[in-house]
Structure 1
Amino acid sequence: MKKTAAYALLTILAFSALTGCTDNTNTESVNEGGNQVTSETGTGNSGSTSDDNVLFFYTAQNKTYEDEANFDRLIGQFIKKKFPDITLKHVHWNDGTRYEDLIAKGTIPDIVFEETYRNAHRMIEKFDLEYDMSELIKKFNFDTSVLDQGSLERIKTASNGKIYALPFEQSDFVLVYNKDIFDKYGLDYPKDGMTYDQAYELTKKLTRQDGDITYKGYQQHPSHYMYYNQLSEAVLDPNEDKGDLDTDSWLKIVNNIRRFYEIPGNQFITTGDFPKGQMGMSVDVIENVLKWSQDYPDLNFDISSVPVFPEAPNNKYQANVNGLFITKQSKHKDLAFQVIQYLLSPEVQEARAKEGIISPLNDSKVQEAFAQNVPQLKDKHTAGIFALKSAMPAPRKPGLTFINPPVQQVFQPNIFEQSKDSATALRVVNEMINKQLAETKAAVEAGGDGTQYQ
């Protein structure tokens, strides 16, 4: 891995953030005053958070941070500069350094970098690490209004209405289009704010057989489209332990995307075939788009915002965000929060944005700095990433049972394989959700951790 290659971060962040799973494959510097500052590495059995000057930073997401040089370049250097008197200890999640390993060794981190929705339950709560940062936010006068509000609300939804984390890195979906195909057929390029109806009309024009080549007009993964839906519809009922898929609103959402795949020749395959040059448009995360531009240097493409619903013209997907947690066991909560607060400063976020990391700050200067150090995105319309706001998550009453709902099964297998009508597919998966919720609730009442469907 090239230590200075920003694309390495971007490529792997796409996998980590989208799956919401802790990845299982996954220094030294001198501060301005000339004092030596060390960053310990290892298996987690050296050092202790009981040491007054040691801050233990654990990265449970993004394989990029497995390389200590990348951690130092993208996170560590900023902490060392601002807090020269502390010893920064960093460990990345891997075999031998998973949550259970650290806990068994008595080396619980002060700060955990983790996916903030699914893994707030599946990892943070499971290992009894959750801590509400609300009082620290007040104590240090941190203005949460500077953050992407969709990201913050998604964290609150997963934190029983509390704030177990602050957003730190986002992975946003964009529409990428092949300019050569549009030029070939004399079609106008997509624009930010294009509606799904407009995208559908373009798809019909782009999907065609031209000699031996079959062009697909449009691909958008229906699972991601539903999971991060732009209309903020609830999958889990806001007030009860039951599913909420069996509704007219969800029927509209499903039929909206289903029609694209009923266009002859445009059946769903994968968004990842875009760089092969026979697909007009694809919706995917910007990190994958960057990888395509590396692997296919002759690909003539550009990007715009994802299509929108007319009733939500400013909404992109709900936030897909990794954040920074402070553990309840940390003896350095004040220091840990001050570190997080500094990492979320415009100064640090602008430097990270230049490396192609999507910031959670609502700061135009930070957004304009995005990917300035990433040559593959030079002259691309990266402003399309920030043209819309994150859709808000559906609210849910604290204390209800949580599962990671299997929305992907609406389309696969129920629609794509079994040709069910949309209402039936939704009803089948809703019944599955109800069953999983009931089993999870029973498991928790019996003393289990309730993570079998997370």
Structure 2
Amino acid sequence: MKKAAAYALSTILTISVLAGCTNNTGGESLNEGGNLTANASGTGNDGSASNDNVLFFYTAQNKVYEDEANFDRLIGQYVKKKFPDITLKHVHWNDGTRYEDLIAKGTIPDIVFEETYRNARRMIEKFELEYDMSELIKKFNFDTSVLDQGSLERIKTASGGKLYALPFEQSDFVLVYNKDIFDKYGLDYPKDGMTYDEAYELTKKLTRQDGDITYKGYQQHPSHYMYYNQLSEPVLDPNDDKGMLDNEAWLKIVNNIRRFYEIPGNQFVTTGDFPKGQMGMSVDVIENVLRWSQEYPDLNFDIASVPVFADAPGSKYQANVNGLFITKQSKKKDLAFQVIQYLLSDEVQEARASEGIISPLNKPAVQQAFARNVPQLQDKHVAGIFALQSAMPAPRKPGLTFINPPVAQVFQPNIFEQSKDSATALRVVNEMIDKQLAETKAAIEAGGDGTQYQ
């Protein structure tokens, strides 16, 4: 029994940290301050992996990989099984092993596990590690059509149309709902594909004062909702160095969610209050939902797909994905790619999915295996995670200036604190984006790295 409990806790830890990138849409990378792991090969960390059978694997995302046992369980064991002659040298991001430190020591990894959108620019390109894997994909006949196309397109968008990485782990948003509250007021449970209009009507019925208890009907973090918007509206102009928030499409997006928080009693607080038992519905990442189920074992909940726009009925959020990069300095690119190809095989992805890791493979058997070994989700509608397709990111012309746009500021502070109308809030933030783009472009032209707003 103790062994089972320990395994369940390990699984929860594994999948809960995948939410880190999602929860930091305005800012930092997931694992800053992580610990240096032990070396799987037993070799020194100052080696450059020059031996033919040594492959240097650097994990810069997912805090769980700080523990070498977890790295071996989730990645290493599969590599050793398929490639018994390979010795894996593994290092995880921490104060002593940042990119700068590895480069200074001449210890360039062969494979880097990293966030694929923002960090493709501010880390991979900044340290000149980028390598287009397209030729290796052709050489080894890897079928990219089996991958989540939204994830793949997000990588291409961040890589100037190239493929600096292949997707490996995803973090998806779901709608979680409190069954006890729905039962209390005789309301039907949410279904996959519910529209925002339907969710809004439910929210009005759920938001109420009942004795001393104030029930909030619905919470969805507006910054995540905008950053990964389901209508694929660009924040940065696809063809120019300027913002794109000041238009009717974005006004529709903002007003769609704003109306929920204008329902008396349903003002935005945080999606994380859901497990306290006074919230009907909340949109959050599945990793947080699992954590709640472990911390609040009496919570009577289930999940469904996120609400959708009526004119985009099949689209969930844009992909939030970590991927596997091959560095251009690697002398073992063929071997590195074969390892990545195997890690993306049905066999490996099904095994990893069973432990609660969302796979980038669009294959029913892999999706049906999700959380098979996670007791807390055994009776939950996990199929809702896969009921919709990732929204496609808007393409952007290569060579334009990149920043991490401050979309969160539309709602906080402009709407929530300063009560601006939606059009004004969008215009104010769009002007901020234009200013940040201009400053970034000037910094690059002056010889800087242009990462101030990344």
* TM range, smaller chain: over 0.9
Query: Could you tell me which residue of structure 1 aligns to residue 321 of structure 2?
Result: 321
Preserved contact between residue 43 and residue 89 of structure 2 (Cα < 8 Å): no
Q: Give distance in 2, aligned partners of 1:154 and 1:301.
A: 32
Do structure 1's residue 162 and structure 2's residue 162 form an aligned pair?
yes
Alpha-carbon distance in structure 1 between the residues aligned to 2:239 and 2:23 = 27
Identity %: 84
Cα deviations across residues 325-383 of structure 1 (Å, max 9, x unaligned)? 00000010000000000000000000000000000000000000000000010110000
Map 1:372-411; keep pairs closer than 5 Å: 372-411=372-411
Residue of structure 2 in register with 1:12 after alignment:
17
Query: RMSD value over aligned CA atoms?
Result: 1.3
Structure 1 equivalent of residue 49 of structure 2: 49
SS class of match (1:40): coil
**How many residues end up aligned between the 2 structures?**
442
Choose which of 24, 31, 55 in structure 1 pairs with 2:32.
24
Q: Runs of 5+ in structure 1 lacking a partner? A: 27-37
Counterpart secondary structure, 2:157: helix
AA at the equivalent of 2:112: V
**Structure 1 residue aligned with 2:423:** 423
For 1:382, give the aligned amino acid. V
The amino acid of 1:8's aligned partner reads L
d(CA) in 2 for partners of 1:241, 1:435: 10
**Is residue 235 of structure 1 aligned with residue 202 of structure 2?**
no
Superposition deviation, residue 16 in structure 1:
3.7
Contact map agreement 2:222 2:257 (CA 8 A) in 1: yes
- For 1:206 and 1:284, how far apart are their aligned partners in 2? 18
Q: Deviation at 1:41? A: 6.2
Matched residue type, 2:69? A
Q: What's 1:31 paired with?
A: none
Q: SS of the counterpart of 1:299?
A: coil
CA contact (8 A) 1:234 1:394 kept: yes
1:40 is matched with which residue?
41
C-alpha distance in 1 between matches for 2:217 and 2:43: 49
2:69 aligned with 1:69, yes or no?
Answer: yes
In structure 2, distance between residues paired with 1:126 and 1:376: 41
Q: Which residue pairs with 1:280 in the alignment?
A: 280
Shift of 1:3: 6.7
Q: Are residues 424 and 41 of structure 1, via their aligned partners in 2, closer, same or farther at CA, if it must alter by over 3 Å?
A: farther
**Residue 10 of structure 1, CA deviation:** 1.1
Spell out the pairing of 1:109-128 with structure 2 (5 A cutoff).
Answer: 109-128=109-128
Counterpart code for 1:39: A
In 2 relative to 1, CA 18–151 (structure 1 residues): closer, same or farther, beyond 3 Å? farther
- Given that 1:43 and 1:97 are in contact with CA atoms closer than 8 Å, whether structure 2 keeps it comes out as no
* Match status 1:367 vs 2:367: yes
**Maintained 8 Å contact 1:174/1:384:** yes
Q: What amino acid is aligned across from residue 31 of structure 2 in structure 1?
A: D
* Deviation (angstroms), 1:2: 5.0
1:99 Cα shift?
0.6
Q: Which residue of 2 aligns with 1:254?
A: 254
Could you tell me which runs of 5 or more consecutive residues in structure 2 were left unpaired when the two chains were aligned.
none
CA contact (8 A) 2:49 2:89 kept: no
Q: Which amino acid aligns with 2:402?
A: F
TM-score, length-scaled by structure 2: 0.96
1:268-295 residue CA offsets vs partner (Å, 9 max, x unmatched): 0000000000000000000000000000
| Alpha-carbon shift at residue 11 of structure 1 (Å) | 1.2
Normalising by structure 1, we get a TM-score of 0.96
The superposition leaves residues 197-243 of structure 1 with CA deviations (integer Å, 9 ceiling, x where unpaired) of: 00000000000000000000000000000000000000000000000
Post-superposition Cα deviations, 1:159-204, rounded to whole Å, max 9, x if no partner, equal 0000000000000000000000000000000000000000000000
Tell whether the 8 Å contact from 1:182 to 1:280 is kept in structure 2 after alignment: yes
Partner of 1:32: none
Which residue of structure 2 lines up, in the alignment, with residue 453 of structure 1? 453
The match for 2:341 is 341
For 2:45 and 2:402, the matched residues in 1 are separated by 30
Specify the alignment match of 1:33 in structure 2: none
* Deviation of the 1:44 alpha carbon: 3.2
Q: Is contact 2:205–2:217 with CA below 8 Å preserved after alignment?
A: yes
Seen in structure 2, the aligned counterparts of structure 1 residues 305 and 282 have a Cα distance that, compared at 3 Å, is same
User: Could you give the per-residue CA deviations for residues 366-423 of structure 1, whole angstroms, max 9, x where no partner exists?
Assistant: 0000000000101100000000000000010011000000000000000000000000
Q: Distance in 2 between matches of 1:42 and 1:112?
A: 19
Summarize the alignment of residues 92-103 of structure 1 with structure 2, pairs less than 5 Å apart: 92-103=92-103
